[in-house]
Structure formats: structure tokens, C-alpha cells
Structure 1
Amino acid sequence: MTGVETRSVSRDSLFLLANVSVENEHVQHRVRVRNLSDGGMMGEGSMAVARGNRVVVELRNVGTVNGTVAWVQDKRFGIAFDNEIDSQAARKPSGEATAVTHDVDSLSRAHRAPPPPRSGSLRKV
């Protein structure tokens, strides 16, 4: 590793548990959530998943989140959420959660492309 951070989305390193199931399967697996961001998570557990699997994740204080397995390495795997979540809500102790009602504009935009520049703000080099 180079020691240079190349990720475009900030994420929280934490340790909490979540229930994950592969879509259309009724078996839930308890996994450790190692990293969590508004757009995805890294999980660790003994469940068998493959890249591209559709999954359903139940996170404390967040609820049910749908996503896709983006990568798998040994017992660790990455999940890209279909919709952004409030990842800070999962850090709160159970029972402290407030109703998670926010519009899309209030969520992180770190992994989205920036808007195109205004034509008057460009300069020739």
C-alpha cells in the first residue's frame, strides 16, 4: 500500500453487527460491519456471497437497506447500497435513533460527479 487515500467517499471505521441476507433467500447471517459510509459498507462473516449478489442489510437505527456485493476477499466483502443512508445514525446507541427523514440533498455527495463548471469560470492555459 502506498499510504495515500484514494477513496472518494469518507467512511467510519467501527465495529457493529448487522443482519445480511442474499435476496430471495430467507436465511439471515449476522456479520460484523467494519466500515460504513452513506453509500456502502464492508462486512465480515462466514456467509457465502459472490460479487454481484443482491443483498438486504438490516442496520441498527437505519433499518433495511438493499444493495449489491461489489467485491469479496476471504471472509470480507463490500456492499454498495442502492440508496444513501445516514451512516451516523448507526453509530448511535439503540433506542437513541430519531426518525430518519431527510431529503436526498442532505446526504453526502462525495461519490457523485461534481456539477459541470460555469463557462465564465474557465480560463485558458
Structure 2
Amino acid sequence: MTGVDTRSVSRDSLFLLADLRLEESDEVHRVRVRNLSDGGMMGEGSVRVQRGYRVKVDLRNIGEVCGSVAWVQDERFGVAFDEEIDSQRARRPAGSGAMGAADSYPSYAHRAPQLPDPATLRKV
């Protein structure tokens, strides 16, 4: 790992506890969330995961989020979420449930565009 951060998605450094479940298991593991963005998180804990594992993470004020393990290093791991979340909601006090105007609409800032309909494409 280099000291240069080349990612374009902003992340919030924080310390939250979350419950993580491997998608094929009912066992719940408590993990520490070290940083969080709309598209993923870095977690830390004694749960043994491997790159590619499917997981469900229960985040405060957000709920259960599905994703895939993108990388693992010692007890830390990265999860890429299937759908973007509003990561700022996790910073609010637990159970606040107060939604502001910004929470009314989902964030599409870093979402990939929809694939075109093959029926509408033409050969060039």
C-alpha cells in the first residue's frame, strides 16, 4: 500500500460498531467500522472473511446493507456495497430517525449509469 490515496469517493473516518453476517450463515459477528462512504466501508474484527465473500452489515440508522468483501488485510477488510447508502445517516445519534431534506432522495453521485437496451442499439 502506498501513502497516496487515488480514490475519488470521499470517506468518513469514524468508529462505529456494526453487526456483520456472512450471507450463507445465521451467525452474527460484531465488527468495528473504521471508515464509511456511500459505496462501501472498512471494517475490523476477528471474523474470518475472504475476498469475494457476500456479507450483510447492519449499520446504525441505515439498517442491513448487502455487499461483497473487496480486500482483506490481517483483521481489516473492505466491503463494496451493492447499493449506495447515505453514509452521513450513520453519524447521527442512534435511533434519531430524523430525516432532513437531503435524506428524501437517494444519492446518485457515484452510481454507474444504466446499461442501454440492446434493442435500441445500432451497429456502426
TM bin, normalised by shorter chain, reads 0.7 to 0.9
1:60-106 Cα shifts (integer Å, max 9, x gaps):
000000000000000000000000000000000112123596444xx
Contact 2:14 2:34 in 1 (8 A): yes
Question: Whole-Å Cα distance in 1 between the matches of residues 2 and 95 of structure 2?
Answer: 41
Contact 1:70 1:79 in 2 (8 A): yes
Structure 1 residue 24 displacement after superposition: 1.4
In structure 1, the residue matched to 2:33 is: 33
In structure 2, the residue matched to 1:95 is: 95
Structure 1 residue 5 displacement after superposition: 2.6
In structure 2, the residue matched to 1:21 is: 21
Alpha carbon RMSD of aligned pairs, Å?
A: 2.0
**Equivalent residue runs for 1:1-125 within 5 Å:** 3-98=3-98, 102-104=104-106, 107=107, 109-110=109-110, 112=112
**Secondary structure at 1:89 match in 2:** helix
In structure 1, the residue matched to 2:117 is: none
* TM-score normalised by the chain length of structure 2: 0.81
Question: Whole-Å Cα distance in 2 between the matches of residues 15 and 69 of structure 1?
Answer: 19
* TM-score normalised by the chain length of structure 1: 0.80
Q: Number of residues paired by the alignment?
A: 111
**Secondary structure at 2:13 match in 1:** strand
1:84 counterpart letter in structure 2: E
Distance 1:21 1:2, change over 3 A: closer
Gaps of 5+ in 2: 114-124
Question: Whole-Å Cα distance in 2 between the matches of residues 30 and 78 of structure 1?
Answer: 15
Q: Work out the percentage of aligned pairs sharing the same amino acid.
A: 62
Distance 1:34 1:45, change over 3 A: same
Contact 2:11 2:37 in 1 (8 A): yes
Structure 1 residue 108 displacement after superposition: 5.0
Gaps of 5+ in 1: 114-125
